[in-house]
Chains A and B, each alone.
Chain A
Amino acid sequence: MSRKAKAKTKETYYKPYHKPLIRRRRPNRSVGGDVGLYIFLILMAIVMVFPLVYAVANALKPLDELFRFPPKIFAQNPTLDNFSDLFVTLGKSWVTFTRYLFNTIFITFAGTAGHLLIASMGAFVLAKYDFPGGRLFFKIVTVAIMFVPAVTQVPNYILLSKLGWIDTYWSIIIPAFASPMGMFLMKQFMEGLPTSLVEAAKIDGASEWKVFTGIVMPNVKPAWMTLIIFQVQALWNNNGGMYIFSEQKKTLPYAMGQIQGGGIARTGQGAAVTVVLMIVPIAIFIFSESQILETMASSGMKD
C-alpha cells in the first residue's frame, strides 16, 4: 500500500469512542452570525420580559417602596403583604375577594372541562370517519376561527337573554364549549393518529364510544394540554363583559379593575391581583410547553 493511501485511511478512520469536545456546527452557519443572533435575542428577551418582571416585583414591594422615586426595579424588603391584604381588606367588603376568585375558578374549570369533552368528541368523528356533511362542517369551523369575537357579541347577547342565561355563569361557560380554535387543533392532531389503530379496535368489537375513550383520547394527551391552555387563557381573563351584572357573580379581572380604580391606597393590591391573573396561564404553559408544541406542529391550514 502506498503512503498516500495509508494517510487517507488514517484520515477517514472513525473512532466511535472518541467524542469530539465541540459538536460539529450546523451547515451554513457563520460564527459572527451566531454571536449577533445571541446578542439580538437577549436584548429582545429583556424588552419582552421586563414589564412582566416589573409587575411581579411591584407586587412584592411594601407600599412605601411602590412610590419611591427614582424607582428601584426590585424590592428592598420584599413582602407578601399585598397578597394577604387582598383577602383582608376585600374580606370585609360586600362581595369578598374569595368570591371573585371562586367565580373565576369555577367558570374556567367548567368551561375548560366541557370544551375538552365536547370538542374532542366532535373532532374524533371528523378526523377518523368519512360521513356526509363532515367536511363542510369542518370548513365552517375553520372560517369561524377568523371571527373577531366582537362580531358575534350583540346577537349572542340577544340569544342569551332570550334563553334567560344573562347574569348566570352559563352565559360565559356554554359559548366557551364551542370555541372553534380547540376543535380545529384537536381534529388536526387526531388526523395524525394511525387509522389502523381505530380499525383494529373496531374489528375487535369495540363500540365507537369505547374507541373514543379507550384508544383515541389517551393517545392525544398533548392536544388536551393545548386545548386546556387556550381555554384557560380565554376564561381566566374573562371579565364577564356584558353578560354578567350582579356583583357576586363578577370575575377576578373585573375585581382587578375595581381595585386599580380604588386609588393610591390600593396600588399594592392592584399589583398583586395583576400577578395572580398572569401567573396561572403562564404556569400552565411552562409545565406543558413540549406537549403544546407537539400539537401546534399539526396546526397548519392547507387552504
Chain B
Amino acid sequence: MGEYLKKYFALRKHNASTAWKKAKLAKNCYLFLLPYAVIFCMFYVYPVVASIYYSFTYYNILESPRFLGLANYISLVLEDDIFLIGLKNTLVIAIITGPVGYLLSFLFAWLINELPRAVRSVAVVVFYAPSIAGTCYTIFSVFFRGDAYGYVNSFLMDLGIIEQPILWFVNPQFMLPICMGVILWMSLGTGFLSFVAGLQGVDRSQYEAGMVDGVKNRWQELWYITLPNMKPMLIFGAVMAITQSFSQHDVCAALCGFPSTDYAAHTIVSCLMDFGFQRFEMGYACAIATVLFLLMIMCNKAIQSLLRRVGT
C-alpha cells in the first residue's frame, strides 16, 4: 500500500513538473488568453461562486453580509408563495416552450434545407428574424388589446365566438398561454441557425448510399442518416433552448406588466429581479439565482445524456 501511494505521488509530481515546464514554454499563450480570462472570471465565474456564498447570508449591499445558514432556502420553499408561483410558471414555460421550440427549430431547419438555394436563404431570414427583432414583441400588445378595438377581440366578436372583449393581459387565464405563444414565435434562434448550418454540412454521398441500401422516404432518411450526423448540433441547440426557456422574464414583463395580475406571469427571473433590484435583499435574490442555476445545469445534463442516444 505504502509503495503504491509512493508511486502514485511520484507520478503526480512528475506530471506536475512536466506541466509546469510546458506552461513555461507556453508563456505567450497565457498572455494571449489573459485579457479574456480575467474578464470572464470576473463576470461569469466569480458571480456563480459569489452567488452561492451570498445565498447563505442576509446582504443588502450597505451592511456587510450576515451569515444565516439555510434560512433563505427554507423560507423560499416553505414561506414564499410568490416564489412557488414563479417556479411553477417557469417550469410550465420551460416544459412547453423548451421542447416545442426545439422541435420547431429542427423541423423548420430540416424543411428549409429541402428548398433550392436562393429560396433557402430568404427562408432562413424570415424564420430567424423574430428572434433578433429586439423588442418587436411589444407589437403583440396591440393585437391583443383589451378593448373591443383590439384586433383579436374584434375578430372573435365578429365571428360571434365571444360576446364581450377579453382583457387578454389582465385575465390570469390567458396571460401565460399568450406569453408562451410569443416566446414560441421568438424561439427560432441560435439553435435554429446551428441546425440549418449542420444540415448543409451532411455529406451528400451518404444519402445516395442510403438510397442504395434501401432508404424509402424522407422520414427514414432523417432518422437513419441526418440525425446521427447532426448530433453535435442537436446538443448545442438543446443547450440554447434550455437556457432560453428558463430565462424568460422580459416578454412576460413587457406584455403583462411587472408584477402581473395575481402573479400569473411571474417567473423565477421576475422574483429575482424583484428581490435583487427593488427590495435590495441580495442574499435572498442569490438564493433564487442558485436554485435557478442548479435547475438548469441538471436539466442540461439530463437532456444531453438523452440526446446521445439519438440514432443508435
A→B interface (CB under 8 Å):
26-30, 33-34, 37, 40-41, 44-45, 47-49, 51-52, 54-55, 58, 69-71, 118-119, 121-122, 124-126, 129, 131-134, 137, 140-141, 143-159, 161, 174-175, 177-178, 180-181, 183, 208, 212, 229-230, 233, 236-237, 242, 253, 256, 260, 274, 277-278, 281-282, 285-286, 289-290, 292-297, 299-303
Residues of B within 8 Å of A41, CB to CB, are 108, 111-112, 115, 123
- Bound Cα distance A153, B133 (Å): 23
State whether the Cβ of B26 lies closer than 8 Å to any Cβ in chain A: yes
B154 to chain A, nearest CB (A): 7
Task: Return chain A residues, CB-CB under 8 Å to B124.
Answer: 289, 293
CB-based nearest A residue for B52: A155
Task: Confirm or deny: B196 has a beta carbon within 8 angstroms of a beta carbon on chain A.
Answer: yes
Taking A131-B30, A260-B138 as contacts, is the C-beta distance between A297 and B198 under 8 angstroms? yes
Binds A, one of B5-13, B74-82, B164-172, B282-290: B282-290
* CB atoms of A154 and B218 under 8 A apart: no
Whole-angstrom distance from the CB of B125 to the nearest CB of chain A?
6
Our pick among B129, B208, B233 for the contact of A299 (Cβ within 8 Å) is B233
Chain B residues within an 8 Å CB radius of A277 = 134-136
Docked pose: A296 CA to B138 CA in angstroms: 29
Q: Point out the residues of chain A lying under 8 angstroms from B123, CB to CB.
A: 41, 45
B193 neighbours in A (Cβ, 8 Å): 292-293, 296
Interface pair A148/B197, CB less than 8 Å apart: no
Chain B interface size, under 10 / 10 to 19 / 20 to 34 / 35 or more: 35 or more
Chain A residue, CB-CB nearest to B19:
A132
* A161 contact set on B, CB distance < 8 A: 61
B30-51, CB under 8 A of A: which get 1 and which 0? Answer: 1011011101101111111011
> Within 8 Å CB of A230, what residues of B?
190
Residue of B nearest to A148 (CB): B247
Instruction: Tell me which residues across on chain A come within 8 A of B33, comparing CB atoms.
Output: 121-122, 125-126, 134, 137
Shortest beta-carbon distance from B277 to chain A in Å: 5
A208 to B134, CA, bound (A): 39
* Nearest A residue (CB) for B235: A301
Report the bound CA distance from A145 to B296 in whole Å: 11
- Report yes or no: A296 in contact with B293, Cβ–Cβ below 8 A: no
A sample of 19 more A-B contacts (CB under 8 A), given A133-B23, A178-B40, is A45-B127, A47-B185, A48-B188, A49-B130, A132-B20, A146-B239, A150-B289, A151-B48, A151-B290, A152-B48, A154-B272, A155-B54, A157-B276, A174-B39, A174-B43, A277-B136, A281-B132, A300-B233, A301-B232
For A126, list chain B residues within 8 Å (CB): 33
What CA separation (Å) do A91 and B289 show in the bound complex? 41
Write out the residue numbers on chain A whose beta carbons fall within 8 Å of the beta carbon of B48.
147, 151-152, 155
Distance in angstroms from B49 CB to nearest chain A CB is 8
Chain B CB count within 10 A is highest, among A40, A41, A148, A230, for A148
List, in ascending order, chain B residues with CB within 8 A of A152's CB. 43-44, 47-48, 51, 289
Give, as a whole number of angstroms, the nearest-CB distance from B35 to chain A. 5
Residue B266 interfacial (CB < 8 Å): no
Q: How far is the CA of A260 from the CA of B151 in the complex (A)?
A: 19
Say if the beta carbon of B149 comes within 8 Å of chain A: yes
**Nearest opposing residue in chain B for A207, CB measure:** B28
Known contacts A155-B50, A158-B282, A296-B197: A147-B129 contact under CB 8 Å:
no
Task: Report chain B residues within 8 Å CB of A180.
Answer: 40, 44
The CA-CA distance from A148 to B51 in the complex, in Å, is 13
Asked if A51 meets B139 with Cβ closer than 8 Å, knowing A69-B149, A175-B43, the reply is: yes
* Interchain CB contact under 8 A, B129 and A154: no
A289 and B125 form a contact (CB under 8 A) = yes
Check B140 for interface membership: any CB of A closer than 8 A: yes
**Residues A274 and B136 in contact, CB atoms below 8 Å apart:** yes
* A33 neighbours in B (Cβ, 8 Å): 217-218
Q: Taking chain A's interface residues, is the majority helix, strand, or loop, or is none over half, making it mixed?
A: helix
Chain B residues near A299 (CB-CB < 8 A): 194, 197-198, 232-233, 236
Q: Nearest chain A CB to B297's CB is how many angstroms away?
A: 7
27 A–B contacts, CB within 8 A, in A order: A27-B211, A41-B108, A49-B130, A52-B133, A69-B154, A119-B36, A129-B26, A143-B297, A144-B40, A146-B296, A147-B44, A149-B247, A150-B249, A150-B272, A150-B292, A151-B48, A152-B43, A156-B43, A178-B40, A208-B28, A208-B32, A233-B132, A285-B129, A293-B124, A296-B193, A297-B197, A301-B235
Contact check, B136 vs A278: say whether CB atoms are below 8 A apart.
yes
Is the pair A28, B215 in contact by a Cβ cutoff of 8 Å? yes
**Distance of A161 Cα from B282 Cα, bound (Å):** 13
Which residue of chain B is the closest to A132 with respect to CB atoms?
B19
Residue of B45, B121, B292 near A140 (CB, 8 A) is B45
Question: Bound state CA distance, A45 and B129, in angstroms?
Answer: 11
Choose one: A54, A183, A286, A296; the contact of B36 (CB below 8 Å).
Answer: A183
Whether A131 pairs with B29 at a CB distance below 8 angstroms is yes
- Bound CA span A29–B33, Å: 49
A149 to chain B, nearest CB (A): 6
The distance from the CB of A159 to the nearest CB of chain B, in whole angstroms, is 7
Assess the B243–A145 pair: CB atoms within 8 A: yes
Partner of A145, one of B111, B197, B239, B282: B239
**The one of A125, A140, A150, A281 that contacts B32, using a Cβ cutoff of 8 Å:** A125
Q: Please give me the residue from chain A that is nearest to B112 by CB atom.
A: A41
Q: How far is the CB of B78 from chain A (nearest CB, A)?
A: 22
Contact indicator B135/A49 (Cβ below 8 Å):
no
